[in-house]
Structure 1
Amino acid sequence: MNDSTGDLLHESLLHDTLHTHVRERDGDAGAHLVGLADGALRVARRRQRLTRAGAGVVLAAAVATAWVAVADDGPPRAHVVQPADRGDAAKATKVSLLPVTSSTEGPCTQGDGGYTVDPTATERARCVHTDPAKGMRDIRVASATAEKSTVDGRWQMEATLSPADRIRFVTLTASLASAPPPRNEFAIVIDGKLWGTPAVAQSITGGRFAVVGFYGEDLTRATAHDLAERLDPGR
């Protein structure tokens, strides 16, 4: 029996005893004793409820706290295990959306700031240059998903921008829409790698962009999911 249960039993016995005593007496003194007995019982019950609630709090706290003994057999220290702080916004991979200034055949020259697109069976290597100063650099998307396109069935990664970045994206794409190729394109750069250069026909107001592959190399299911997991702060 714990202390709170013992206190409640004691107060209950006192309550019943006083009520029995009062039944044998009349007058204001008896009514006063009844009031005291009822009040004591209410206090005891409230104390027991708080004790039970406190035990629940202690149990929950024990999940996040581990006790370790010091080496010299001294009193135990509390080693607090912090809850898993996802830190999603800090850990999610950043992406840059940069206006394309040129796209020429052949690999980029080392140190010229361009992005080399490796050759494929149908395309030669290319060098893509961008204008970082006019683009959206090192942003984190609000969400990212991997899915099959409803148009051609190819795997793609679709990212959704935050409300603030959506406004910037509208401005960026609007400035590209009227430019001749390839300056009507923006480069999707993730971890320093070029993932695509979509062409823009008009300003994009939906706040989303997709990676579908580049120069004849489609995304696979694995690469689409891997890219989504790296970008999505909620995963």
Structure 2
Amino acid sequence: MNDSTEELLHETLLHDTLHTHVRECDGDVGAHLVGLADGALRVARRRQRLTRAGVGVALAAAVATAWVAVADDDPLRAHVVQPAEGRGATKAATISLLPVTSATERACTPAGGGYTVHRTETHPAMCIHASSAGGMSDVRVSVAKAEKGSVDGSWQVEVTLTPADRTRFATLTGSLASAPAPRNQFAIVVDGKLWDAPIAAHSITVGRVEIVGAYDGDLTSAMAHDLAQRLDPGR
């Protein structure tokens, strides 16, 4: 006798026993036991059919819904089995912090590479080139959060680096601080898009970066929250 047959006999016995017991019960408890008995028998029969067809336990588990009944005044509730923690979760996006090599007041040409900062009402279009040499590519941050700046109230994303990357970032910004413009800037790139290119006035040792947009005030609330959610590993 295989496992599915044993389960079916067990569930059939449970079904008959509960129905016999229902005759002695009134009200909601009797209805709960009927639901449990009928549901258990249907699941057992379905599992046996799937096993005979060679579908396997995995599909049977996906099709079957486990019913949990409490033999008191609580209503019958369906218990849905949740996937294991982290299963199906989307990985957080990475960020690159790259030394700027040039900045030209025009949009980038398709063949020339670089990152185009589009023109606004108050700023011209810019083409910014950055190099991965000496920079930090595909970094996973520790924390990212959207917030309003304390100075002008514009939206920004504050990114906190891991302890190991803080040391690398301090070295990077320290080396840029003494360079002439625009080589004293670093490009902040996420998913192939330039989000900011701040000036490194000194070595940044605290391991935090504020992304305010290619031009100050570029970020809306929706943009800031979306970017923070994509970068934060704990989302």
TM range (shorter): 0.5 to 0.7
Match of 1:117, as an amino acid? V
Whole-angstrom distance in 1 between the partners of 2:149 and 2:157: 9
Match of 1:84, as an amino acid? E
Normalising by structure 1, report the TM-score. Answer: 0.66
Match of 1:140, as an amino acid? R
The alignment yields a C-alpha RMSD, in angstroms, of 2.4
Normalising by structure 2, report the TM-score. Answer: 0.66
Whole-angstrom distance in 1 between the partners of 2:119 and 2:88: 38
Aligned residue number for residue 118 of structure 1: 118
Equivalent positions of 1:74-223 (< 5 A) are 74=52, 77=57, 79=61, 82-85=83-86, 91-215=91-215, 217-223=217-223
Identity of aligned residues (%): 57
Whole-angstrom distance in 1 between the partners of 2:94 and 2:222: 20
Superposed CA deviations along residues 72-95 of structure 1, whole A, max 9, x for unmatched, are 56498254874031687x710111
CA contact (8 A) 1:102 1:183 kept: yes
Distance 1:74 1:111, change over 3 A: same
Aligned residue number for residue 3 of structure 2: none
Distance 1:157 1:72, change over 3 A: closer
SS in 2 for 1:92: coil
Aligned residue number for residue 69 of structure 1: 47
CA contact (8 A) 2:51 2:57 kept: no
Whole-angstrom distance in 1 between the partners of 2:177 and 2:210: 17
CA contact (8 A) 1:70 1:77 kept: no
Whole-angstrom distance in 2 between the partners of 1:73 and 1:135: 56
Match of 1:102, as an amino acid? S
Whole-angstrom distance in 2 between the partners of 1:200 and 1:113: 23
Aligned residue number for residue 18 of structure 1: none
SS in 2 for 1:203: coil
Whole-angstrom distance in 2 between the partners of 1:70 and 1:193: 54
SS in 1 for 2:189: strand
Match of 2:203, as an amino acid? S
Whole-angstrom distance in 1 between the partners of 2:52 and 2:170: 63
Match of 1:175, as an amino acid? S
SS in 2 for 1:110: coil
**More helix by proportion, 1 or 2?**
1
* Count of aligned pairs: 169
Whole-angstrom distance in 1 between the partners of 2:216 and 2:175: 27
Whole-angstrom distance in 2 between the partners of 1:92 and 1:73: 39
Distance 1:86 1:209, change over 3 A: farther
SS in 1 for 2:176: helix
Whole-angstrom distance in 1 between the partners of 2:116 and 2:175: 25
Match of 2:47, as an amino acid? A
